[in-house]
Chain A
Amino acid sequence: MWQFFHKLGSPKWFYGIATRLMPWLLAAGALLLLSGVVWGLAFAPKDYLQGNSYRIIYIHVPAAFLAQSAYIMMAVAAVVTLVWRMKLADVFVKAVAPVGLWLTFLALFTGAVWGKPTWGTWWVWDARLTSMLILLFLYGGVIALGRAISDEKSAARATAVLVLVGVVNIPIIKYSVEWWNTLHQPATFKLTEKPSMPPEMWVPLLLSVLGLYLIFGWLACIRMQSEILIRESRTRWVRELVMAGRN
């Protein structure tokens, strides 16, 4: 167990594992995401109320799901950074923050596109929309702080503190805006209840959510690998790797 933990802290070991893992993540993720999206967009039944416009859910919900999960994963990595000073954890935070920002943006954008035919407006100051917008700000703050501090170790620890402060605030923000104003429908998937949609609708949605998770894993791996190469550029194994790649 402890050996595994120590190995996990080694960038070189992670680099090797990620190289082996990435093709599988990409293949499985692309397969799931494509089948989910194609099934959802082309074959799933029409919604009796919203017609075809609801089909954007197959992009909107996965993006919104991942945007929130990514922040929670970053918070776990932030705890690891602060407590165990593990290098890989802060590589993860740095690599994933921009991905999370774009996913949040995608969720907001698809939401706006969906909102126009359904609610008759691009944007409302509704609880869900506002809290996602604030999540976007939080991601932006994390990225901005990380870039503003030149020293790598300080940057890692400062962003970790900020991510944790943000994670304490996320439930507060969520509930405060929910009490303040709400129009958005409740969550599509809940762990405790059966989905309110027929299976022909929610199975493709589930597939695309899982697929996007795997694609996210692949993206995280590739971004972490390049960050590791930059940070470890002076070490022997990186040099050997680069020389081997050249031949």
Chain B
Amino acid sequence: MSNKNASPALEQLRDQAIKNRASLEGKTLILVGTATCGRAVGALDVVRVFREEIERLQLDAAVIEVGCMGHCYAEPMAVIYKPGEPGICYGYLNEGIAARLPQDYLVEGDPCAEFALAAMEVHEYIPTFQDFPRGLIEQKAVMEHCGYIDPENIENYLAVGGYGSLAAALDRNPSEVIGEIKDSVLRGRGGAGFPTGLKWEMCGGSQEKTRYVICNADEGDPGAFMDRTILESNPHLVIEGLAIAAYCAGAAKAYFYVRAEYPLAVERIKKALQQAEKLGIIGKSMLGTKYSLDIEVFQGSGAFVCGEETALIASMEGEPGLPRHRPPYPAVAGLFGKPTVIDNVKTLSYVPLIIKNGAGWFRSIGTEKSPGTAIFALAGKLVNTGLAEVPMGTTLSQIIYDVGSGIAGNKKFKAVQIGGPSGGCLPEETLDTPVDYESLSKAGAMMGSGGMVVLDEGDCMVEIARFFLDFTQKESCGKCTFCRLGTKHMLDILERITKGEGRPEDINLLLELAEDVRAGSLCNLGKTAPNPVLSTLRYFRQEYDAHINEKRCPSLMCKDLIAYYILPDKCERSCDACVGSCPVEAIFSNEDRIKVINQEKCVKCDSCLVACPPQYRAVIKVSPPDEVLRREKGVK
């Protein structure tokens, strides 16, 4: 199949791309991150203001929309490359700052260090990203170009060496390429960790001529957004990986299965595919070889279970997304009964890098059994939330304290939830656990797809378990009885506990049900559904006991077990902040002008607690609710 002319063809395209980019030379470049995370906080307004200012000042500059660098906490962000100076990255932008920067920096030469996040290279008085603890731990492989190249312009990707691995792969036999991937020990990044090369080989070795390759971008885990960011920031990387996978598996048709909630990702993939087809990189006789591949985008319809590969296939066949028994694995009999390779977005993103740098390079990163990097979506109560790419084997505490800069608001760390609804909550004593497939499973969580939600002392672990069970219970497809009814019963029990109606025998009942649901479910949705309950019971049993025996929520979170109370000795009297903030007019002034909450009217919306000025902090939460009565009567 190989005829060794793909690489020269690509070389030509790359030269052309570099030549076309030459028009940007000598210009100031302003890169603004406009992935979904940036757009949500006004990045498009920032782009508009930059363009207006450049127009007004008649500057020789170009504003380019790029993806996300992973520092989502500081969005909207922009990197300004002024010719002859190191690039400077600005964070927390708004229209006002964006209106100032072109005048101050580009015209008058003041780099406005007060708005700068970091410099891209060594700078006189702005530190670089490498000067922060985060910079030392992070190792960007997949995300190397995210946030630096224009995802909607293929020439950007070609100029940084893009599609070189596809050309190199096309010039080799599929078996050689598979050998390289197997040699790298790349494991599926969707969560299960199946060796990728083996999967391709199974499909490629099939007698059946029609085969399919699917990129699984149905990222449904609440708290995970790695796939979205990669697709929005560097779609061509994933397309390249998908094309290599298709070549190795001998497929003529490939699909992107993207969830419906990611409209921007869908738009950018479609645009990227069009551009690649136009240049002859994808499509009929790719890069002048005999190999042809058609790639199509299929949009999911909002069912979490469709992230499971057999359910995903069912939904593409126009059926409700019910998983089926494995074996036969999709690599043997998948879409329309044909051999099908299904790989996660991140897995496919590593493929071009392994082809380019070799299997040895990949194995040199991370641990022996889990080589490479891991991408985590950091969310929850961290100072710096966002996306982090770290080598496998990095410890949890390094990720939370060095990359995420610790817990926000001077609160205490309580737990970290890893792996979404299938994962578990790990407490402080497990923070030395290195992140790799085996260590995390041993600690009671799982690698999952990479969502990491950090919880502080104000988060109730029973409520967390209830939240995840509520999710899996709603998303259960209903095929297996234990998953459909077992999760419902577990949820009922947890709801009872969070309402203060728990019974002493509930905990044993939960444990029994968890075992049954795990044993009686076909797919991983059901098999792992009890994990959040089991891990919280394992590490935070005392919280369950407080809810059941004392009808008290130690973290002051469960609504039925708390009440809001205004401390009379702290209330400032002449301040009305809480009264104005209350949406149901439950707060009134007593004869001493001290504010009091009418507990019958209160909807526990938290507004008064937020509104009370920090110098008073008079509003507090108490649990159990009758604590208010006790305090009002003055009984200490």
A and B form one complex: no
